[in-house]
Amino acid sequence: MSNSLSKVKNFYVKKLGLKIVHEFRNENNDLYGYFLSSKNNTFLEFFKTKKKINFSNRNNHFKHICFEVSNLKYLNKKKFNNKFAIKRGKTDKILQFFTKDFEGNIVEFHQRDRLSKF
């Protein structure tokens, strides 16, 4: 859910490069959602809501979303101007960095390499 589909488009489509594969529109042709693809059969759906989203209530929210990428350094440089320190996960030893989207959702990007545990 989101209160702003234009912010969804700016962050997930324009910044991260996901593709809009379907726009949800009502009978008046009003846009109320996006179906986004990040390739490899991975999809996200966002729907517009007028409700206030309560991020502190974990019963109606998720912890974070994660995208596996093939070149974490390139992504950090190209999309985020090297804003984030790339670290290894404590237990899985995967390369990763975290950011937040426009709604405050935590977004993780990670990359496996020869030192990763899976």
Residue 57 placed within a domain: no
pLDDT at residue 79 is higher than 70 = yes
**Residue range of the domain that includes 98:** 62-118
pLDDT at residue 102 is higher than 60 = yes
pLDDT at residue 56 is higher than 90 = no
Residues 71 and 46 both lie in one domain:
no
Q: How many domains does the chain have?
A: 2
Quote the mean pLDDT of the chain: 88
Residues 46 and 68 both lie in one domain:
no
Residue 55 placed within a domain: no
Residues 82 and 45 both lie in one domain:
no
pLDDT at position 107: 93
pLDDT at position 62: 65
List the CATH number of the domain containing 79. Answer: 3.10.180.10
Express as a percent the part of the chain with pLDDT over 70.
89
Across residues 29-43, what is the average pLDDT? 89
Residue 79 placed within a domain: yes
Q: Which amino acid is at 35?
A: F
